[in-house]
Chain A
Amino acid sequence: MSSSQKRISKELQECMTTPPTGMTISLPSESNLHTWAVKLIGPPGSPYAGGSFNLSVVLPPDYPFKAPLVTFATRIYHPNVTNDSAGSICLGMLKAENWKPASRVRAVLDAIRQLLIEPNPDDPLEARIADEFRGAPREFEKNARSYVARYASGKK
């Protein structure tokens, strides 16, 4: 496991000194390098602008040979994120058959941010939201914004 620790601490250090665009990264528990907390600022120009989203990154024991588990802790209205408290994300590079041990958490986080700018309705987790995104983009944006106001405005 020591090889895994070395890689993880290196990645974490890099992410803390130069955080990925629009994000801050912290460790909920100093003693556990395998669970990261990410705060993601809704990308400007997207319906998520003005929102602040909490994500959880869990690195499995055999990371980096197994993909990290990334979920939205904040509710979000998006075709590729389950519209429930689990907040599961559908992202190609995280699927077991696509994951490469040389891939980094940073790349995953960048891809998730990109997903907020450009949802992928062809591979949805929420088919209804995907249909709406395609067929009634104005409705979709309205709903996404109202979710931001309700769950991601930072005010509790």
Chain B
Amino acid sequence: MVDEVNMILEMRKEDAAILLRHFRWNKERLIEDYMDNPPKVLEAAGLGPSSKSPARLEAIPGFMCDICCEDEEGLKSFAMKCGHRYCVDCYRQYLTQKIREEGEAARIQCPAEGCHRIIDAPSLDLLVTHDLAARYQELLNRTYVEDKDILKWCPAPDCENAVECAIKKKDLDKVVPTVACLCGNRFCFGCILNDHQPAPCELVKRWLKKCADDSETANWISANTKECPKCNSTIEKNGGCNHMTCRKCKHEFCWMCMGLWSEHGTSWYNCNRFEEKSGTDARDAQARSRVSLERYLHYYNRYANHEQSARLDKDIYTKTEKKMVQLQTASGMSWIEVQYLNSASQALQTCRQTLKWTYAFAFYLARNNLTEIFEDNQKDLELAVEALSEMFEKPIAELADTKLKVDIMDKTAYCNRRRIILLEDTADNLANGRWTFNVDLKSITPNASSGVNSRG
């Protein structure tokens, strides 16, 4: 990469390396900006106006070094383009300390207080021994490698931020390194996909591949219309809520499992857990493959449903602002007072994102004594999210009611809290190797960073 830049921009390799570092190894941006305005880019990177006049040591009459306070006649001194002049011995000692003791290369500044000019390669060659120059070069290369591993570009469109995270690739089976960019985008540092907690990267990769492969089989499930289980009239889903009421027969059912809605809120109802079939059922190969497909569809159905619901909730969110304005007129509430709808919408989005991945996670999870707790947490969050989603879709007239407002605020807080509990619990077990998966998490292939390389 350094070679490429130094060829394209016709500059010294060392300068190219410093520029690249300044641009956080984003080659395209460096070249683009440099072509646009070379002096500005050089100045910002601490390389100042490039000049053809070679750097040299000088003995200036009346010169006193500000570092050692020596002023003897004929004292050899040096200054970079910034003009901060010091004696050769001081400069040398400073550079030696920075390179040898502090292992610094691309960030060594002029010794003057407040001057951010970076020591350039010609100056360095002039001042230090061959040995030290070689060490400097080595450090410069290492900076590049280290930076490349701990810096990643935020994948959000139009965002130019790099996010730093010191996660090692070999630890990706123990943690899901979710990072938040300054722009607000949350993504996984391991694979650059959107936040996919609690599922580890390897599971996400496998799951997405499986879904793509099986899309034909599975597509029908996520379709937007279903038939009422009672009267068979066609029902279209038009919000994120899974509580469906048939317009025709008023039958209330759950969109996900098509079961009675009344059984969801109160007693234990296994909408989130796939009931493993008994061994006798799966005796022959055909039955086994049917069970395995059923099992996959069970989880895929719920995964796809939350994805779709999140989309629908988002549609509602785009209408939220309008809704909030209406609400202000209807209820006399101030803008601040209607912000709870915004918070509710945010909570719905993040919680559904999490729920979605809990199903991919559960698909690969082998049952042990912890899976039940996981499913309880999942179910708890899911019920809360559905309840919130339902309140959130209430017409304006009802939203103006203060009781409902309090309920929505409480439910929003509850959802956020339950989400954190689920994620912390799952992450804790993952870190301590307490989960067993029916696939190998260690087979992580290095294509995780391909998205970065193409930009950087």
Residues of B within 8 A of A3 (CB): 68-70, 89-90
> A29-71: which residues lie under 8 A (CB-CB) from chain B?
62, 64-65
Q: Which of A7, A65, A103, A104 contacts B97 (CB 8 A)?
A: A65
A103: nearest chain-B partner, CB-CB: B113
Residues of A within 8 A of B70 (CB): 3, 6
Q: Which of A4, A10, A64, A102 has the most C-beta atoms of chain B within 10 angstroms of its own C-beta?
A: A102
- Docked Cα-Cα span, A62 to B68, in Å, equals 11
Residues of A within 8 A of B94 (CB): 65, 101
Q: Which of A6, A93, A104 contacts B68 (CB 8 A)?
A: A6
Residues of A within 8 A of B86 (CB): 101-102
Q: Which of A7, A93, A97 contacts B67 (CB 8 A)?
A: A7
- Docked Cα-Cα span, A6 to B70, in Å, equals 8
Min C-beta distance of B436 to chain A, whole Å: 40
Given known A-B contacts A65-B94, A107-B113, A102 and B67 have beta carbons under 8 A apart = yes
A100 interfacial contact with B, CB 8 Å: yes
Q: Which of B68, B89, B112, B115 has the most C-beta atoms of chain A within 10 angstroms of its own C-beta?
A: B68
Min C-beta distance of A104 to chain B, whole Å: 8
- Docked Cα-Cα span, A7 to B97, in Å, equals 19
Residues of B within 8 A of A65 (CB): 93-94, 97
A3: nearest chain-B partner, CB-CB: B68
Q: Which of A10, A62, A97, A100 contacts B69 (CB 8 A)?
A: A10
Given known A-B contacts A3-B89, A65-B93, A96-B102, A102 and B111 have beta carbons under 8 A apart = yes
Do residues A102 and B113 form an inter-chain contact, with CB atoms below 8 A?
Answer: yes
Q: Which of B84, B89, B97 contacts A102 (CB 8 A)?
A: B84
B149 interfacial contact with A, CB 8 Å: no
B66 interfacial contact with A, CB 8 Å: yes
- Docked Cα-Cα span, A101 to B86, in Å, equals 10
A interface footprint on B107-124 (CB within 8 Å = 1, 0 otherwise) = 001111111000000000
Residues of B within 8 A of A103 (CB): 113
Residues of A within 8 A of B89 (CB): 3
Residues of B within 8 A of A107 (CB): 113
Residues of B within 8 A of A64 (CB): 67
- Docked Cα-Cα span, A114 to B180, in Å, equals 34
Residues of B within 8 A of A104 (CB): 113
Q: With A101-B94, A102-B67, A102-B111 given, can you name 11 additional A-B contacts, CB distance below 8 Å?
A: A3-B70, A6-B68, A7-B67, A65-B94, A100-B112, A101-B111, A102-B84, A102-B86, A102-B113, A103-B113, A107-B113
23 contacts between A and B (CB under 8 A): A3-B68, A3-B70, A3-B89, A3-B90, A6-B68, A7-B67, A10-B69, A62-B97, A65-B97, A93-B113, A97-B102, A100-B112, A100-B115, A101-B67, A101-B90, A101-B94, A102-B66, A102-B67, A102-B84, A102-B111, A102-B112, A103-B113, A104-B113
List 6 tightest A-B contacts by C-beta distance, closest first.
A3-B68, A103-B113, A7-B69, A101-B67, A10-B69, A6-B69
